[in-house]
Amino acid sequence: MQITSNNEAVRIADDIAQGLSTMSNVDVFIAPSFTELYSVSKAIKDTHLMLAGQNMYYHEKGAFTGQISVLSLKELCQFVILGHSEPRRIFGETDDLIRLKLLKALESGLTPVLCLGETAKEREGGKAQEILHQQLAGSLKGLEINQMKEIVIAYEPVWAINNKFLNPDTKIRPATPVEANEAHTIIREWLNNEFGAPTAEEISIIYGGSMNAQNAKELLNLEQIDGGLIGGASLSAEKFLPIIRIAAQLSENQSADYRWENNTLRFDE
């Protein structure tokens, strides 16, 4: 609910798609509001940019007023975000509900992006690992190895999300590289124990939580971090494309040669 105009959503998506046209070594999706998905899908047709739904329900059809069917999403999207901290913490979604959604997404051919993360209070209480294990176990209960290979996992500490409804009394900040790497290692080790090392290494684990062009290189350069789930910095091409470009350079083992000039990221060609 950050961008509420179809015209604005289409403009932003078109700008991102054009900027992405010269970067073929990164996978990028955006997740507009449901009412904007159709218009955006038409605007980015035949480009490298992909689409995600922000959520979905686990029944395909029926009297579920206000919910979104996977059948509607699969016509337009390649991904769907599930278990985001806002549905979890504001609207009370449980791990079991998220698991049912995840299974339906897999069955329907969408790639689920499963979000996990602890609150500031949970981290301060030394419960970060416990919460991550709990969310992993509950959301992935009963899944097979072949299903796990189709999932993306996003570590998104609640305390790093700039949302006053999630964090009314918490100073918002991105995770430090040490904190992010520790959390990703906890997730990867849990996956290793449950599904084996080959599967654990194959699964993409991405970081979400106040990633921007200023901290992207340091975070994305960490061995355990495979990408980013970008929030506020994805609301304009000017902020989002520099992050994508940093990721593209790092994926080619190139140094991301850039500098800040007049509060703008400038790349050295």
Q: Is 184 considered catalytic here?
A: no
Report how far residue 255's alpha carbon sits from residue 268's, in angstroms, rounded to the nearest whole number: 11
Torsion of CA 76, 81, 82, 86, to 10 degrees: -120
Catalytic hit among 122, 156, 179, 184: 156
Q: Is 133 considered catalytic here?
A: no
Catalytic hit among 36, 84, 122, 179: 84
* Structural tokens at position 51: 């689409």
* Structural tokens at position 236: 């304009």
Provide the H-helix boundaries in 125-202.
Answer: 128-139, 145-148, 177-195, 197-202
Sign of CA dihedral 150, 235, 70, 74: negative
Report how far residue 164's alpha carbon sits from residue 218's, in angstroms, rounded to the nearest whole number: 26
Count of C-beta atoms within a 10 Å radius of residue 191: 22
Count of C-beta atoms within a 10 Å radius of residue 59: 14
Residues classed as catalytic: 84, 156
